[in-house]
């Protein structure tokens, strides 16, 4: 059960911002209408609905703020005005007591602070809803940052997740699009995301994997993890010296090659999604820096790897082909790929779907490629598919969010960015390499030992399958005979009912002399054909 105080707080915020108006009147059951009756007496704030939602989430605290940030990446769920407001949600909260922070570190590392670190700054560098970060120096002289999870945050998250799941259940049951949008699954995905943020060992493992993927790469640098000082609630990373990616003044002051910087951001995204199949899914500006070295060949620095994503091989393939087909204006192929991938129902009419996609994409592609928003094209495509009962694909949510962040960041750095110029050759090259003999041989080498391990079992598996088929044959025959008997019985019943109907009609004919006269005037051939038809119906 949720504590009474928390329940009252949520109800108060809900009423003050008149969030009841978000629920369509026709979708409210009787008990909900009765519950909301007192709320209608309150005046409606002179704010847009998006602003009301944003202020309500900020008042309700960190869990709701982070959930709102997740929703801001889902234009397939919310209208544009709400998405725009939720984009402004800030995850900055007051820091907790430094003494409490130090006690948590000492307990996690099982040693005094002055033994673990040569120096430690009590004032945090940053403070967010889940954790805060302090600067420190290791005994060996390495400059590091120490990230510490807030005390008691797990209980707050569990309470609020229960409420979010309850609301999602109502949305699933009563909203017109509730079943298709799968709100309960959205909350479940959010739970996994925020619970992962509480486990700093997972974040450290993600950082290590990302660092390996870009080892010696001029594109991206990831700080080193200090594993000896890392625990579930404490993470120690190399301290980086970079320029915030949004600080355009500093970037210009060191003569950063801005077009190359923007293009490299796009290249990083596609490498992560298609080559590595492991992508940093929280690449908002606060987590991205630019190295001060080699401004003519700028390198990104990524932090906060708590949230990562990956796609299935099938989704990778269909996504790449979808994007290429869209920009080639092959809308029929786009429609077919949506069906083949299972993103829309198998019985979706291809021609109607193709026409809907064309009507959305053609106005966009009339612009120069440099002015086309790659992410918005993708969103428009998903919104069009929504009309054809496309279910929300959880595996594509993080990808869409990351693409929005990357493209927005790239255009901020270099407004003339032509994202397609970078993406197009990359996708074509990736699709060619996917079916290259070298790639196929690599698959054989990777899975060959497993196939060889299972090969001796194949004869036994075949024998067992044949044995099972032989044992099932009598049961299948019995069921088939039973089904045939039921069909014959049903046919007999239909014949009896038809015969009874014809006899009843014949018996009723004398009651309508006009009908008898009409039959008498019919030619013999017509009467004969009618009788034959009746006999044929009875026989069938």
Most confident of 34-48, 408-422, 438-452: 408-422
When pLDDT is cut at 50, 70 and 90, the band that residue 99 belongs to is very high
Cα atoms found within 13 Å of the Cα of residue 376, Cβ hemisphere only: 12
H helical segments located in 87-182: 98-109, 113-116, 153-174, 178-181
When pLDDT is cut at 50, 70 and 90, the band that residue 239 belongs to is very high
Q: What is the mean pLDDT of the chain?
A: 79
pLDDT 10s digits, 128-173: 878 899 999 999 999 999 999 999 888 888 887 887 788 778 777 7
Let me know if 482 is a catalytic residue: no
Q: Could you tell me what percent of the chain has a pLDDT over 90?
A: 22
Please compute the mean of the pLDDT values over residues 12-33 and round it to a whole number: 70
Please compute the mean of the pLDDT values over residues 43-56 and round it to a whole number: 81
pLDDT of residue 506: 63
Better pLDDT: 309 or 243: 243
pLDDT 10s digits, 101-114: 999 999 999 999 99
Better pLDDT: 98 or 65: 98
When pLDDT is cut at 50, 70 and 90, the band that residue 58 belongs to is confident
In the 3-class helix/strand/coil scheme, how is 206-274 assigned residue by residue?
A: HHHHHHHHCCCCCCEECCCECHHHCCCCEEEEECCCEEECCCHHHHHHCCCCHHHHHHHHHHHHHHHHH
Of residues 20, 76, 160, 282, which has the active-site annotation?
Answer: 282
pLDDT 10s digits, 264-277: 988 998 899 888 98
pLDDT 10s digits, 444-490: 666 677 767 777 777 777 777 777 777 777 777 777 777 777 777 77
When pLDDT is cut at 50, 70 and 90, the band that residue 176 belongs to is low
* Tokens linked to 34: 């009765």
Instruction: State how far the Cα of 369 lies from the Cα of 215, in Å rounded to an integer.
Output: 33
* Tokens linked to 283: 């690449």
pLDDT at 243 over 90: yes
Pick from 98, 152, 95: nearest CA to 127: 95
Burial of 501 (0-12, 13-18, 19+ CB in 10 A): exposed
């Amino acid at each position: 059960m949720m504590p009474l105080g928390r329940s009252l707080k949520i109800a108060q915020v809900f009423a003050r911002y008149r969030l009841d108006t978000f629920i369509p009147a026709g979708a409210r059951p009787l008990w909900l209408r009765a519950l909301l009756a007192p709320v209608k007496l309150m005046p409606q704030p002179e704010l847009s609905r998006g602003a009301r939602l944003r202020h309500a989430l900020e008042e309700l605290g960190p869990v709701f703020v982070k959930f709102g940030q997740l929703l801001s990446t889902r234009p397939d769920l919310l209208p544009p005005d709400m998405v725009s407001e939720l984009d402004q949600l800030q995850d900055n909260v007051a820091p907790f007591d430094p003494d409490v922070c130090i006690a948590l570190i000492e307990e996690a590392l099982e040693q005094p602070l002055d033994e673990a670190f040569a120096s430690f700054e009590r004032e945090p560098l940053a403070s967010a809803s889940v954790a805060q970060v302090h600067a420190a120096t290791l005994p060996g002289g390495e400059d590091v940052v120490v990230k510490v999870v807030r005390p008691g945050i797990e209980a707050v998250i569990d309470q609020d997740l229960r409420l979010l799941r309850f609301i999602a259940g109502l949305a699933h049951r009563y909203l017109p699009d509730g079943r298709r949008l799968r709100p309960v699954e959205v909350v479940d995905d959010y739970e996994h995301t925020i619970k992962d943020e509480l486990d700093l060992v997972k974040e450290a493992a993600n950082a290590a994997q990302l660092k390996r993927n870009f080892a010696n790469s001029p594109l991206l640098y990831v700080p080193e993890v200090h594993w000896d000082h890392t625990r579930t609630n404490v993470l120690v990373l190399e301290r980086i010296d970079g320029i915030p990616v949004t600080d355009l003044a500093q970037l210009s002051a060191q003569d950063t090659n801005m077009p190359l910087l923007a293009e490299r951001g796009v290249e990083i995204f596609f490498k992560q999604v298609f080559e590595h199949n492991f992508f940093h899914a929280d690449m908002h500006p606060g987590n991205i820096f630019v190295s001060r070295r080699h401004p003519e060949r700028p390198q990104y620095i990524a932090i906060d790897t708590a949230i990562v994503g990956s796609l299935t091989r099938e989704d990778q393939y269909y996504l790449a082909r979808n994007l290429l087909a869209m920009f080639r204006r092959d809308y029929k192929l786009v429609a077919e790929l949506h069906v083949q991938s299972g993103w829309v129902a198998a019985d979706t009419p291809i021609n109607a779907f193709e026409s809907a996609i064309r009507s959305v994409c053609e106005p966009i592609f009339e612009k120069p490629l440099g002015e086309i928003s790659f992410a918005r094209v993708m969103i428009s495509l998903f919104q069009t598919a929504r009309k054809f009962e496309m279910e929300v694909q959880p595996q594509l949510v993080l990808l869409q969010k990351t693409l929005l962040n990357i493209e927005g960041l790239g255009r901020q750095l270099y407004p003339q960015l032509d994202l397609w110029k970078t993406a197009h050759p990359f996708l074509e090259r990736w699709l060619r390499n996917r079916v290259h003999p070298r790639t196929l041989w690599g698959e054989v080498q990777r899975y060959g030992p497993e196939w060889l391990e299972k090969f001796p079992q194949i004869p036994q598996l075949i024998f067992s399958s044949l044995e099972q088929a032989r044992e099932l044959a009598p049961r299948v025959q019995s069921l088939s005979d039973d089904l045939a008997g039921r069909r014959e019985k049903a046919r007999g019943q239909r014949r009896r009912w038809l015969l009874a109907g014809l006899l009843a009609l014949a018996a009723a004919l004398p009651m309508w002399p006009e009908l008898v006269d009409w039959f008498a005037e019919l030619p013999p051939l017509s009467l004969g054909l009618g009788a034959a038809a009746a006999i044929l119906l009875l026989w069938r």
